[in-house]
């Protein structure tokens, strides 16, 4: 009897234990489930350990052999879907697919994470020693946290270990832009695309109503008023993403006092601060535009996809956005307006300001704002060098084919579509490049700038309070001596 009791107890305990553990089994986002392909956080597989003991980065032949012989899953995290032909990572997916055909033991996993969640995702992966092979991240000061934690590859120092020099695959302008963005001497990320930002407008609508591209800031305000009076929403704005709101503060301030004024204020440099009257004036002007209804109702709830839809379906006359939309404009299935109906201009200068009109028209938020980072731990194993060499030597051509303004060297003769030509011409005109409003802010100040932007736009926060909160936050990270 006692023995039966014991046996029964053991069986019941085992059943209880199995049911308790059922809920714990989880592949996890991006987890592979294949024990041979390095799916476990912080643990090396047999294949990775074997790769470590070989002569890694310096021998392309050995790397090729290692990549062919042992299975490997290349992990990518990005904010955009790789299956969307208009996305900036689509070209990377094409490269992965082509490489996989030639290397059957090479596999890949793509995880899509919302832009503002990528930082938290990467933070968790750093703590668990499982930084992906390749991921997109916000460039500028945001990247400093990853550099300080030695989580990403020093591109300047180590890129050549894949078997090709950086200067042979990345355009000089893009490399310069990266150095301007970085707070360090070395480059720690690669560019995704070369972008310029401006106002896209509906040419057909403008022609029908007799509206002209404005040549001064005041003309631009008058144009918006005229469009609104005609019963059309002047501008589409993805206020839910917050950054489009602060962009109008930056545009005004830069056109009054120069393209570096907001960058200096972001770090209390050269005697600049967000308390300066120019920023209060700029915040006031930006608030006025939103309060005047130039961005329609409910702008704080509009996301980027809705913004594009509103513009392409003729619900708005204009929208402020970047040249990353080129892939969208060149896709006839998505661009129902037609490429020939889309025009582009840089917000014009302000009469009577320190900056003349010509200077203002050549001032551009020109950047490779999304960083493409290589996870250091996995890079050091050398397992991915062969693929990375393949990727970066073909990325320029692939991006051009899908309509993205590529910062990589291309080998094929390029034939530009009408909107691509507009951007190419604009890039050549840009003499005074700058960076976006939050580019040089620390993370806390970036939060303050973005979080309060919606309150400023809807009128519940005064421009003075907005600037004071921002300045106080900057003072904490960059105390004025």
Partner 1 sequence: MEKVLRDKKAILLFMLPAVLVYTAFVFFPMCQSIYFTFFEGTPNVDFEFVGLQNYAKLFHDVNFKESFLTTMQYFLVTGGGWVILGLAVALMLQYGMKRFSNLSRTIIYLPVVIPGVAAAALFSKVLEVTPTYGLVNSLLDLLGLEQFIRGWTGDSSTAMWMVCLVDLWKGIGYYTVIFYAGLVNVPTDLEEAARIDGAGRLTVIRKIVLPLLKPVTVMCVVLAIMNSLKVYDMPVVLTDGGPGRTTTVLSIYMYKTAFTKWQYGYGSTIAVVLLILILVLTQAVMRFERKDGK
Name the site residues for partner 1 (rule: CB under 8 A). Answer: 5, 8-10, 12-13, 16-17, 20-21, 24, 116, 119-121, 123-124, 126-127, 129, 145, 148-150, 239-240, 242, 296-302, 306, 309-310, 315, 443-444, 447, 451-452, 454-455, 458, 460-461
Minimum Å gap between C-beta 164 and partner 1 is 31
Minimum Å gap between C-beta 248 and partner 1 is 16
Kindly tell me which of 9 and 230 has the beta carbon lying closer to partner 1.
Answer: 9
Kindly tell me which of 26 and 212 has the beta carbon lying closer to partner 1.
Answer: 26
What sign has the CA pseudo-torsion 171, 173, 175, 181?
Answer: negative
CA distance 314 to 337: 8
Minimum Å gap between C-beta 42 and partner 1 is 9
Minimum Å gap between C-beta 316 and partner 1 is 9
Helix axes 443-458, 463-477, angle to 10 degrees: 180
Minimum Å gap between C-beta 244 and partner 1 is 13
Minimum Å gap between C-beta 112 and partner 1 is 15
Minimum Å gap between C-beta 117 and partner 1 is 8
Kindly tell me which of 13 and 207 has the beta carbon lying closer to partner 1.
Answer: 13
294: nearest Cα among 241, 239, 243, 342: 239
Tokens standing for residue 377: 């731990």
CA distance 346 to 355: 15
Kindly tell me which of 236 and 391 has the beta carbon lying closer to partner 1.
Answer: 236
Kindly tell me which of 314 and 418 has the beta carbon lying closer to partner 1.
Answer: 314
Q: Give Rg (Cα) of the chain.
A: 25
Kindly tell me which of 16 and 29 has the beta carbon lying closer to partner 1.
Answer: 16
Kindly tell me which of 68 and 447 has the beta carbon lying closer to partner 1.
Answer: 447
Kindly tell me which of 302 and 360 has the beta carbon lying closer to partner 1.
Answer: 302
Minimum Å gap between C-beta 389 and partner 1 is 30
Residue 216 phi/psi, 5-degree rounding, is -135, 165
Tell me if 66 sits within 8 A of 54, measured CB to CB.
yes
The angle at the Cα of 46, spanning 42 to 50, to the nearest 5 degrees, equals 110
147: nearest Cα among 117, 182, 177, 181: 182
The two beta strands, 72-78 and 106-112, are parallel
Tell me if 282 sits within 8 A of 222, measured CB to CB.
no
Minimum Å gap between C-beta 300 and partner 1 is 3
Segments in 195-318 forming alpha helices (H)? 203-209, 217-229, 243-257, 261-265, 277-291, 304-312
Minimum Å gap between C-beta 384 and partner 1 is 23
Q: 468 burial class (0-12, 13-18, 19+ CB within 10 angstroms)? A: middle
The angle at the Cα of 309, spanning 308 to 312, to the nearest 5 degrees, equals 85
Give residues with Cβ within 8 angstroms of 463, minimum separation 6.
280, 281, 283, 284, 287, 456
Tell me if 369 sits within 8 A of 115, measured CB to CB.
no
Q: Is 315 helix (H, G, I), strand (E, B) or coil?
A: coil
Kindly tell me which of 61 and 297 has the beta carbon lying closer to partner 1.
Answer: 297
Give residues with Cβ within 8 angstroms of 468, minimum separation 6.
274, 275
Kindly tell me which of 169 and 467 has the beta carbon lying closer to partner 1.
Answer: 467
Helix axes 60-69, 385-401, angle to 10 degrees: 90
Containing 328, the helix (H) or strand (E) segment is helix 326-329
Tokens standing for residue 221: 């305000």
Kindly tell me which of 83 and 451 has the beta carbon lying closer to partner 1.
Answer: 451
Minimum Å gap between C-beta 436 and partner 1 is 18
């Amino acid at each position: 009897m006692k023995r039966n009791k014991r046996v029964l107890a053991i069986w019941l305990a085992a059943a209880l234990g199995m049911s308790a553990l059922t809920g714990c089994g989880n592949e996890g986002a991006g987890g592979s489930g294949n024990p041979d392909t390095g799916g476990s956080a912080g643990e090396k597989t047999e294949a990775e350990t074997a790769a470590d003991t070989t002569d890694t980065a310096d021998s392309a032949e050995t790397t090729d052999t290692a990549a062919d012989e042992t299975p490997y899953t290349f992990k990518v995290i990005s904010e955009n879907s790789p299956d969307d032909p208009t996305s900036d990572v689509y070209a990377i997916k094409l490269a992965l697919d082509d490489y996989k055909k030639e290397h059957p033991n090479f596999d890949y996993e793509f995880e899509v994470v919302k832009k503002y969640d990528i930082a938290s995702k990467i933070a968790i992966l750093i703590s668990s020693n499982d930084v992906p092979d390749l991921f997109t991240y916000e460039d500028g000061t945001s990247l400093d946290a990853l550099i300080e934690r030695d989580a990403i590859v020093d591109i300047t120092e180590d890129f050549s270990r894949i078997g090709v020099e950086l200067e042979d695959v990345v355009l000089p302008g893009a490399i310069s832009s990266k150095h301007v963005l970085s707070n360090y001497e070395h480059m720690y990320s690669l560019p995704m695309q070369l972008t310029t930002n401006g106002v896209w407008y509906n040419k057909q609508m403008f022609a029908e109503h007799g509206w002209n591209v404005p040549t001064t800031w005041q003309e631009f305000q008058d144009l918006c008023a005229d469009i609104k009076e005609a019963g059309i929403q002047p501008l589409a704005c993805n206020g839910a993403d917050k950054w489009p709101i602060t962009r109008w503060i930056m545009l005004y301030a830069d056109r009054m006092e120069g393209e570096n004024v907001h960058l200096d204020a972001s770090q209390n440099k050269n005697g600049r601060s967000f308390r300066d009257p120019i920023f209060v004036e700029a915040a006031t002007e930006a608030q006025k535009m939103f309060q005047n209804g130039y961005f329609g109702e409910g702008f704080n709830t509009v996301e980027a996809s809705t913004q594009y839809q509103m513009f392409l379906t003729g619900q708005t006359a204009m929208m402020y956005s970047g040249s990353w939309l080129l892939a969208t404009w060149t896709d006839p299935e998505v661009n129902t307006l037609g490429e020939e109906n889309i025009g582009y201009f840089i917000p014009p200068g302000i009469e009577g300001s320190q900056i003349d009109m010509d200077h203002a028209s050549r001032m551009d938020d020109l950047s490779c704002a999304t960083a493409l980072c290589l996870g250091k731990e996995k890079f050091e194993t050398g397992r991915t060098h062969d693929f990375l060499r393949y990727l970066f030597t073909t990325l320029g051509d692939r991006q051009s084919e899908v309509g993205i303004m590529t910062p990589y060297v291309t080998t094929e003769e390029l034939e530009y579509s009408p909107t691509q030509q507009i951007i190419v011409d604009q890039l050549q005109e840009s003499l005074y490049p700058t960076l976006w409003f939050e580019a040089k802010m620390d993370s806390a100040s970036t939060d303050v700038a973005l979080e309060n932007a919606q309150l400023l736009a809807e009128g519940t926060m005064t421009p003075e309070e907005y600037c004071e909160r921002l300045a106080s936050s900057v003072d904490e990270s960059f105390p004025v001596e």
